[in-house]
């Protein structure tokens, strides 16, 4: 089976619904950044020894394919699956769980005490970049509100999880 089609050789690609757009289109950047995030989370899983955390990341990775499909589709009638409010609530529960485990803290932390937290923090920054692209897209084209809420909660979740796996949190020293 050949995986190349040669249809993108001139800088265009097909969306999920068959529409053609330039590879530099903000829609492509949006779902491409979600794809990048999915790969970063795949790396992060390899450093976790916590079965519950790995399972949560795998659930999220599967949902990211739905996010990508929603972003890669203009004709919403062509979508087979979509995000739901329950997906957003599930992320909120994950955030609340990790924040309860961490306890109260203030200020900025220095990310990356270990590879677990470093890759989770990298995922957090990639999801923030995806969120910025999705917001730019939503200024020009319709984007389901649930996508923006899910992506926003996802950055909160990755912050909470990364902070939990940070172990001893090192605060930023703002001394001049």
Report pLDDT digits (tens) over 103-136: 876 667 777 789 999 999 999 999 999 999 999 9
Q: What would the mean pLDDT of 11-37 be, rounded to a whole number?
A: 84
Q: Does residue 174 surpass a pLDDT of 70?
A: no
What gap in Å lies between CA 146 and CA 154, rounded to an integer? 12
Residue 15 has, within 13 A of its CA and on its CB side, a CA count of 24
At 83, list the tokens: 């995000």
pTM value? 0.89
Q: Does residue 176 surpass a pLDDT of 60?
A: no
Per the listing, tokens 């949560």 go with 56
Question: Mapped to the 3 state alphabet, what secondary structure does 85-134 carry?
Answer: HHHHHHHHHHHHHHHHHHCCCCCCECCCCCHHHHHHHHHHHHHHHHHHHH
What gap in Å lies between CA 160 and CA 127, rounded to an integer? 14
Report all structural domains of the chain as residue ranges with CATH numbers, in order of start. 18-165 (1.20.1200.10)
Residue 12: strand pairing partners: 22
At 129, list the tokens: 């970049």
Q: Does residue 172 surpass a pLDDT of 60?
A: no
Q: Does residue 67 surpass a pLDDT of 60?
A: yes
Closest Cα to residue 38, out of 17, 67, 13, 15?
A: 67
What gap in Å lies between CA 68 and CA 82, rounded to an integer? 10
């Amino acid at each position: 089976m050949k995986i190349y089609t040669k249809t993108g050789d001139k800088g265009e690609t097909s969306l999920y619904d068959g529409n053609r757009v330039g590879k530099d289109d903000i829609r492509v950047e949006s779902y491409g950044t979600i794809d990048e995030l999915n790969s970063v989370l795949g790396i992060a899983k390899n450093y976790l020894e916590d079965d519950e955390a790995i399972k949560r990341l795998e659930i999220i990775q599967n949902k990211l394919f739905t996010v990508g499909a929603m972003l890669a589709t203009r004709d919403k009638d062509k979508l087979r699956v979509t995000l739901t409010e329950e997906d957003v609530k599930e992320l909120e529960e994950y955030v609340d769980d990790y924040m309860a485990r961490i306890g109260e803290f203030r200020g900025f932390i220095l990310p990356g005490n270990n590879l677990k937290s470093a890759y989770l923090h990298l995922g957090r920054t990639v999801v923030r970049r995806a969120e910025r692209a999705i917001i730019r897209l939503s200024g020009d084209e319709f984007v389901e509100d649930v996508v923006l809420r899910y992506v926003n909660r996802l950055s909160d979740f990755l912050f909470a999880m990364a902070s939990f796996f940070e172990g001893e949190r090192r605060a930023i020293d703002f001394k001049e």
